[in-house]
Amino acid sequence: MRLLFLGDVVGRAGREAVCDALPGLRERLRLDCVVVNAENASHGFGLAPEMARALFAAGADAITLGNHAFDRKEIIPFLEQEPRVIRPLNYPPGTPGKGAMVVEVSGNRRVLVLQAMGRLFMEPLDDPFRAVQAELARHRMGKDGTVQAIVLDVHAEATSEKQAFGHSFDGHVSLVVGTHTHVPTADHRVLEGGTAYCTDAGMCGDYDSVIGMQKGPATLRFWRKVPAERLAPAEGAATLAGVFVETDDATGLALRCLPLRMGGGLAQAMPDA
């Protein structure tokens, strides 16, 4: 199976770049499943339902959120109606939405997509490791399993916590990929147990910025510890950043893990088709 995970979509520049490029990427890379993190798609904070619909129309199969999941109040009823949009599964019981979903792909195959949010320098949610463990206990991966691949989005600040996720679930999922910090890391690889791993997929947005936000106001917040104007997304040329993974349908484990960087100002990287 051929999977693409795109990192945090930031603002209009990121949304438009993804919507423009994704149909062509699906064809060029012969993708079976595309997962997009879009928790910053709406002006940098949250996701509006109409933006989710646009990403699905462009070719996304599932959308993950994160710590900005509920910044747009209209997302709450939408989460109950649209199972393809998931928030971190380690929110407390009773939180709107779900933290996992199964995508149906070609060839009668299925992909489990789930998201956990870290706790280091983040909100003190329920234990993300045990939440993931409990969800994985409901599925068996591989040719004769309930799903043929599993994608785990770890939305976390600390690289150490993301790496701990990778090693904890190595051999049990197809891909562990980090989001939230908006900077693509160069440690994409297949771990010893066969799980593809990357500490952070990066963002889909304008990198001439401070993690996707206009650099002037964002920089002043570090110089002056006083209230400042609300941050707004940068709107220059956007780079799509993500991770491409090819898996073995028999086991669900990764055969290769490669970076994707397209457009904008970063060095380009396109997986071989």
| Catalytic residue annotation | 68
Residues 6 or more apart whose Cβ sits within 8 Å of residue 3? 31, 32, 33, 34, 35, 111, 149, 151, 174, 175, 244, 245, 246, 247
C-alpha to C-alpha distance for 81 and 10, rounded to whole angstroms? 24
C-alpha to C-alpha distance for 156 and 117, rounded to whole angstroms? 6
Tokens 């997962």, residue? 35
CB atoms within 10 A of CB 75: 26
C-alpha to C-alpha distance for 99 and 112, rounded to whole angstroms? 11
Cα-to-chain-centroid distance, residue 243: 10
- Residues 244, 258: contact at Cβ < 8 Å? yes
Residues 6 or more apart whose Cβ sits within 8 Å of residue 21? 240, 262, 263
- Residues 194, 175: contact at Cβ < 8 Å? no
Residues 6 or more apart whose Cβ sits within 8 Å of residue 224? none
CB atoms within 10 A of CB 91: 19
